[in-house]
Amino acid sequence: MGQLVHTLPEGAAVRGVTLLAGELYLVRLEERDQVEVYDVITYRLQRRLTVPDARWFADMTSCEHYRCVYISDPGDNCVHRLDVQQGAVTRWTVNDAPWGLSVNAAHNVLVTCPNVRKIKEFSSHGQLLRELTLPDDVINPWHAIQTRTGQFIVCHGGLVDPVHRVCMISADGRHIVHSHGGQRGSDTGQYDVPFHLAVDDNEFVFVADYGNRRVMLEYVRHVVSRDQLEWWPWRLCLDTERRLLYVTDSEWLTGGRVVVISV
C-alpha cells in the first residue's frame, strides 16, 4: 500500500492534474477557466493561469519537450494548449467530445473520445495525424497511453456497462492483445469504472478504479485504498523520479483535492 505524504488544499472538484518543470498543475470543475500551479517541493500555490473561453475541463497532461500543458474540454469539443514559457493559450477542435489525454514518445497528443470509441493523435499544435477506432467491445474508453512498442493501454467501462477492463490494444487499434477485468465488480482483478491510467518507466500500470474508490497497480495490488480517500479517484499523475503518485480525490460536482502518495 502506498503511503499518504501530503494533501493539497480542498476546493472545487478536481478534474485534472499534471507535472511540468518542477511544478504541479491542476484544474477544477467550478473554476472552469483557471489553472492552479503549485511547487512540487513545498506544495504552495505559485500562481493561477487563465484559459480563455473554456467551457469545462475533463483531463490534462503535459509535454516536457514542448513545455506546454494540454487540457481537454468536452463542453466545446476541443483541447486547450498552454505554453508555459510564452504564456500563450491556443486551442484546436477535436470534432468529438474529448476525455482522457496523454503524450506519446513522439511528443504527440493522444485524445480519447469515449462516445465514438476512438483515439485521435494530434501534433502539439493540433494537426490531426491519425484516428483509431477501437474494437466493438471496448465500450466507453476513458483514457489511453501508448507504450514504447506502439501498443495502447486503454481503460473502459461506464456506469451502466457490464464490462469494465484495462486492455492492451494493438498499434493499429484493431485488436485486443490481452486484458484484465471483465464483469463489473470489486474483487481483486475486477473494476468498477476504471477511469484513468498512469504508467511508470517499467510499464507497470496504475489504474484509478473510480467506483471501488481505490487505485490498483498491475491489476492485483492496492496502491491507494478507500481509507486514504475522502471521495473518488478521478485522475492520476505519476512522478517517476520521486516515486510519487498524484491522485485527484473528488466528489462528482463539489468538493475535491489532490492526495500525494509515495509508491
Mean of the per-residue pLDDT values of the chain: 93
- Grid cell locating 219: 491489476
Dihedral sign, Cα of residue 27, residue 81, residue 215, residue 113: positive
Domain range spanning residue 241?
Answer: 3-262
Report d(CA 206, CA 214) in Å as an integer: 10
Least confident of 25-34, 79-88, 200-209: 25-34
SS3 3: strand
pLDDT in tens, 90-149: 999 999 999 999 999 999 999 999 999 999 999 999 999 999 999 999 999 999 999 999
User: What is the model's pTM?
Assistant: 0.95
Q: How many domains does the chain have?
A: 1
SS3 114: helix
pLDDT in tens, 205-259: 999 999 999 999 976 678 898 899 999 999 999 999 999 999 999 997 789 999 9
**Residue type for 10, please?**
E
| Residue whose C-alpha is closest to residue 99's, from 83, 110, 107 | 110
- Grid cell locating 186: 470489486
| Residue whose C-alpha is closest to residue 31's, from 46, 49, 19 | 49
CATH number for the domain spanning 142: value is 2.120.10.30
Residue that has been written with the C-alpha cell 470509441 in this structure:
117
